[in-house]
Amino acid sequence: MANTPYDLIVIGSGPGGYVCAIRAAQLGLKTALVEKDKTFGGTCSTSAAFPPRRCCMPPSSTSRRATHSQRWALRSVAPKLDLAAMMTFKDEGVDGNVKGVAFLLKKNKVDTFQGVGRIAASGKVEVKGAEGKAQMLDTKAIVIATGSDVARLPGISIDEKRVVSSTGALVLDKVPAKLLVIGAGVIGLELGSVWRRLGAEVLVVEFSIAFCPAWTTRCADNSSACSRSRASRSSCRPRWRPSTRRATGSRPRSSPRPAAQPN
Ligand SMILES: Cc1cc2nc3c(=O)[nH]c(=O)nc-3n(C[C@H](O)[C@H](O)[C@H](O)COP(=O)(O)OP(=O)(O)OC[C@H]3O[C@@H](n4cnc5c(N)ncnc54)[C@H](O)[C@@H]3O)c2cc1C
């Protein structure tokens, strides 16, 4: 397959890359896709957007509801978290997802290459595999769909053990007693919310005046309200406007809610 002249090579198999590659192939272009990870689907399918929503949020909500039911005189057995089983469930979901993407690529006759893609020259993409072997592909056009990366903080290295990125935050092997989330955008709030519901004490730090600074004021204020009631504390003090209070119906509670006991 090496040196096959392609009409298009897409680097990166996230939702940006694989959809582009499939559509190009459907339109008749000879297309190849290069991905450095072992699986196709990018951040969304493999490590970020899909797992918390599909696999971690529902059980954590259920456990929170069950814990709360005690307050309402509904006696039930206190839920006990099996984090390993939850992670297995998540991994199964991710596995189905990435296999689905691989199937679609094959079905639409997109050639796939596993390795780090690099534009070596005009019309030339070098793919370096895990074992260091490189091959050169020729193409008329190239699409760079390599996604984005976590913004690093000066002086702090992400070891994915104690200091984790949003990807590492989804593969922790135990519920941390305390979790500091830096950045109150959608991703920080979502992951903070997952671990708070599973029992961690979560502190969210945001340097802007409100949570989710890129959102409209009303969305951001509502999001702050939700987070203050779910997460234990927040270093960001959002402004509460009367109209927002009316829209949300009630003021957020400042006390943390009880959560399931971790193993
Ligand atoms: C925790 C979290 C939750 C999110 N939730 C949502 C949500 O609910 N809804 C939503 O719309 N979005 C959500 N997002 C954002 C969403 O994941 C991204 O917008 C989306 O993945 C971007 O797609 P992409 O194709 O541009 O990049 P990516 O999905 O990041 O894909 C880029 C791909 O390129 C590969 N790559 C990079 N460099 C190279 C190279 N040199 N050679 C070969 N391959 C390379 C990477 O391995 C990766 O597979 C979330 C993100 C995170 C982190």
CATH dotted code for 150-263:
3.50.50.60
| Cβ–ligand 1 contact at 9 (below 6 Å) | no
| Cβ–ligand 1 contact at 119 (below 6 Å) | no
| Cβ–ligand 1 contact at 36 (below 6 Å) | yes
Q: Cα 150 from chain centroid?
A: 11
Structure-block tokens of residue 146: 């390599």
Please report the atom of ligand 1 found closest to the CA of residue 148: 30
| Cβ–ligand 1 contact at 252 (below 6 Å) | no
Residue 42 CA to ligand 1 centre (angstroms):
5
According to CATH, the topology of domain 1-148 is FAD/NAD(P)-binding domain (3.50.50)
Q: Among 34, 44, 53, 172, which residue has the most ligand 1 atoms within 8 Å of its CB, making it the best to mutate?
A: 44
Count of CB atoms situated within 10 Å of the CB of 175: 19
Return per-residue pLDDT of the chain as tens, 263 residues. Answer: 445 599 999 999 999 999 999 999 999 999 999 999 999 999 877 765 666 566 666 566 666 666 666 666 766 666 778 888 888 888 888 899 999 999 999 999 999 999 999 999 999 999 999 888 999 999 999 999 999 888 889 999 999 999 999 889 988 999 999 999 998 888 899 889 889 988 899 999 988 877 776 666 666 666 666 555 554 454 444 433 333 333 333 333 333 334 444 44
Structure-block tokens of residue 34: 């290069």
DSSP structural state of residue 162 = S
Which sequence spans correspond to the domains of the chain? 1-148, 150-263
Query: Hey, whose CA ends up nearest to atom 14 of ligand 1?
Result: 49
113-118 long-range CB contacts below 8 Å, 24 or more apart? 113/32, 113/33, 113/34, 113/35, 113/137, 114/34, 114/35, 114/36, 114/37, 114/38, 115/34, 115/36, 116/36, 117/9, 117/11, 117/12, 117/34, 117/36, 117/146
The whole model's pTM is what?
Answer: 0.76
Residue 70 CA to ligand 1 centre (angstroms):
40
Q: Do domains 1-148 and 150-263 have the same CATH topology?
A: yes
